[in-house]
Chains A and B, each alone.
Chain A
Amino acid sequence: MSNRKTKEVFSLDALRAGDRAEFARLVETYYEMIYRLALKMLNDSQDAEDILQETFIKAYQHIRNFDGRSELSTWLYRIATNEALMQLRRKRPQTFSIENPEFSDEAEPEPVQIVDWCCLPEEELISAEAQARMDVAIEKLPASLRVVFVLRDIQGLSTRETGEVLDLSETAVKTRLSRARLRLREDLSSYYAERLGEENRP
């Protein structure tokens, strides 16, 4: 898991006292994971860089309030996620539709694309074109589903950690993750089905 690569051994006392070297170490350890999170959330490298910088500026300003009950990585994720969601709200308000998956009892729509595309060759599955489609598919998700998918499946956080970052119950995390994955599956399937069709054409 990416945020477990380096065991968190930071001196909270030094961080709280404003120790620059210790803060630099914190930045070094976590900047990549924060940047990736922001990039997946916003699909724009300039926006992602802004979020990255804002996250650590806020972290430096507020480290005194960090109570040490959660892990530092979780705390950083929380700041970054809030920043990313605010940025999305500003720039792409349509991702915050009235749809609120947490309160909606509506089941996921039935799968439409029933195509077995798993046999496509790897270079086809992750071609540049396919990767662009994958990014678009994430962008189409409402923000509330997108953030759960990015934290759980891309950043590799556990259900519990994702719930901590987002203040959600584990059940809510699982429900949102399921809906996000099913939508992405649907979207990718329609793309790969086209690819399969082309491959089989004489």
Chain B
Amino acid sequence: MSAHQSCRHLLASLSEFVDGELDEKLCAEIERHLADCENCRIVIDSLEKTVSLYQTVSKTETVPDEVRERLFHRLKLDEFLES
């Protein structure tokens, strides 16, 4: 199989590879391929980074207090707002 064909062939497994959920055999195959394929190394790195950026950003997002207040009010739970 040419290098290019194996890139295509492995593409669908990269996401599971990143999660460490891939079976050993396929995992080893990807690792071997990555040793000689810079393109796939870049795709994997940027795939991992993409996911981690979304996670980083969402951790910094807070829910406004008024959203909680309006929710409790709508649910007629105002008496529990203080807790």
Do B16 and A178 touch (CB < 8 A)?
Answer: yes
Do A24 and B83 touch (CB < 8 A)?
Answer: yes
Contact of B43 among A24, A49, A114, A153 (CB under 8 A): A114
Q: With the chains together, A110 CA to B8 CA distance in Å?
A: 7
> Which A residues from 185 to 200 make CB contacts under 8 A with B?
185, 188-189
Do B58 and A118 touch (CB < 8 A)?
Answer: no
Say yes or no: is B1 at the interface (Cβ < 8 Å to chain A).
Answer: no
Do A24 and B11 touch (CB < 8 A)?
Answer: no
Interface membership of chain B positions 46-72, coded 1 if the CB is closer than 8 angstroms to chain A and 0 otherwise: 110111011111100101000110111
Instruction: Note all chain A residues with C-beta closer than 8 A to B21.
Output: 159, 174
Say yes or no: is B26 at the interface (Cβ < 8 Å to chain A).
Answer: no
Among the stretches A4-12, A27-35, A72-80, the one at the interface with B is: A27-35
Instruction: Note all chain A residues with C-beta closer than 8 A to B77.
Output: 20, 23-24, 27
Q: How large is the interface on A (under 10, 10 to 19, 20 to 34, 35 or more residues)?
A: 35 or more
> Which A residues from 152 to 185 make CB contacts under 8 A with B?
153-154, 159, 174-175, 177-178, 181-182, 184-185
Instruction: Note all chain B residues with C-beta closer than 8 A to A88.
Output: none
Q: With the chains together, A179 CA to B69 CA distance in Å?
A: 38
Interface residues of B (CB under 8 A from A): 7-8, 11-12, 14-16, 21, 39, 42-43, 45-47, 49-51, 53-58, 61, 63, 67-68, 70-72, 74-75, 77, 79-80, 83
Do A188 and B50 touch (CB < 8 A)?
Answer: yes
Say yes or no: is A70 at the interface (Cβ < 8 Å to chain B).
Answer: no
Do B67 and A36 touch (CB < 8 A)?
Answer: no
Do B15 and A153 touch (CB < 8 A)?
Answer: no
Closest to B15 in A: A178
B6 to chain A, nearest CB (A): 13
A19 to chain B, nearest CB (A): 11
Known: A56-B71, A174-B15. A154 touches B55 (CB 8 A): yes
Contact of B46 among A32, A35, A116 (CB under 8 A): A116
> Which A residues from 51 to 99 make CB contacts under 8 A with B?
52-53, 56-57, 60
